[in-house]
Structure 1
């Protein structure tokens, strides 16, 4: 395969960076985990064309947290990095802290459409200020449909924080997308060039068929949501192995998504003694 014809989009999510030295939930320093994930991206045999981070970049959306995040992303060098707010972020501070990221715009929502190699990355804002729950109003959905109409002849990846589907982890679904999922699915079903809907929020790898494509969440590079499908299961987190995703699109082909563990492991070794 000609690697020059392969477009690679790395995806991180739910980094939850705090000020240096502070622990999330009084137990976990998320910064070293993100540092490991960035190093893992740097070790990939093929360098991604871009990185997108699908929300909850920080824990409280403060200037100090975003400054810490910027320092942790610095080893990526000139790799394009696209940021998307989650329910733990603050739109205004995000824009102020990353002034060179002009795609963040200055409107009510942080939504944008940018080319990444042979694909188009369309970011959709699901944030409801001061709430862990997400929403998609008619204004945001109308913007999306207009952007999709412009990109009918180009493979599209839609990025958003809250997943537009039930995950069956009820404690998290309670804090999920409260409106707009059905309307989004109708819009997506009219655009068969949508290769993926990539989401965060869930701190786990979860996939579902949605609108004729695949919608999925990915692990956090730090802590994960505990997997318990009981209706009354409490909301808890674990230190299961962290990770991220790599979305690979061969020219003229179908997107393939790889989940990657972001720790350091032995190998690779050849299959011979």
Structure 2
């Protein structure tokens, strides 16, 4: 990375942290207040019904057909207080339903709900259960821990945090919904590994992490084992928060153990890392692909696409994600606009595999 690019990264990161923090708090306050700060009491969330995998097809023999394809959806922010998030998720699912190319899996990379409470998961369950989908995999974002900010009256209340709730309850709710023993997992589909990492604590347990992604020693050891286990194949690693600049560990709004994360990856070829959290419109000129020792992609958002100044007045009708196709000698990563079922020429990458 050049010095100019590094400085640009740093300045953008500073703006992102300050703007995102303010915007998230205002968003929570506005959405809760718009409902007179009263939440309807919801039933405990049931697990997501089992999704049937697509019909098995023979591995293509020609080099022009993909060996494996998946859709990447980030930052859904499903909320009963923001109907636009529900509308956008329906647009994405409708597009997937009618998609012209195979989709072997769907990966949801964090901020699945706006507040992490039962009502958000119930709405997400309703949306996903209405469609016959390929296998679903997910990790937790910072918003999936946000139930601790909501008091017993349903108001966003930072003065009474954790409002009688715990980070553990947020993890349990997520794991129950996706039928997971831990918040992280590896799925192998058609021989290709999806390594899905997930933050394991929030400010109730670790106030110092802020909005950052904290991974335990256990998860980092597991990550090291997964990389070694699937060495020789293209590997796809999912996080929620982005990495800080090279050479530093992250803080709030970033992957915290970044130096160790990068150190583990540098020994392997053909690793693709995807993150969410930034919500940046694929069409606003923001850098969405960075080449390090691995291929690093920043996804946009399904629920709330944002402009460069972290506003969404001009982007409120947009809903975006990534479609990934793995071929014998290359990987295609393409940006998708779900609202009108179109490809985005600004987000179109053809990455040659090296062996």
Do they fold alike, i.e. is TM over 0.5? yes
- The equivalent position to 1:68 in structure 2, one of 109, 123, 127, is 123
1:112 aligns with 2:185: yes
Counterpart-to-counterpart distance in 1, 2:121 and 2:237: 24
- The equivalent position to 1:209 in structure 2, one of 280, 291, 298, is 291
Report the aligned-residue RMSD.
Answer: 2.5
Counterpart-to-counterpart distance in 1, 2:313 and 2:297: 20
Aligned to 1:263: 339
1:37 aligns with 2:92: yes
Once the two structures are TM-superposed, the CA of residue 137 in structure 1 deviates from its matched residue by: 4.0
Q: What does 1:1-273 correspond to in 2, within 5 Å?
A: 1=62, 5-19=66-80, 22-23=81-82, 29-89=84-144, 90-96=170-176, 98=177, 101-102=178-179, 104-105=180-181, 107=182, 110-130=183-203, 131-166=210-245, 175-177=252-254, 179-194=256-271, 196-204=272-280, 205=282, 206-210=288-292, 212-228=293-309, 236-240=311-315, 241-250=318-327, 252-264=328-340
Once the two structures are TM-superposed, the CA of residue 143 in structure 1 deviates from its matched residue by: 1.2
Aligned to 1:271: none
Max Rg structure: 2
TM-score w.r.t. length of structure 2 = 0.62
Deviates more, 1:212-221 or 1:6-15: 212-221
Structure holding more strand per residue: 1
Once the two structures are TM-superposed, the CA of residue 127 in structure 1 deviates from its matched residue by: 4.6
Counterpart-to-counterpart distance in 2, 1:8 and 1:43: 15
Structure holding more helix per residue: 2
Residues 127 and 203 (structure 1), Cα distance of their counterparts in 2 relative to 1, 3 Å cut: farther
Counterpart-to-counterpart distance in 2, 1:201 and 1:91: 18
Residues 88 and 127 (structure 1), Cα distance of their counterparts in 2 relative to 1, 3 Å cut: farther
Structure 1 residues 116-163: Cα deviation after superposition (integer angstroms, max 9, x where no partner):
223100011135313422223433222100111111132210011111
- The answer to whether the 8 Å contact 2:212/2:256 transfers is no
Counterpart-to-counterpart distance in 1, 2:94 and 2:199: 29
Counterpart-to-counterpart distance in 1, 2:223 and 2:74: 21
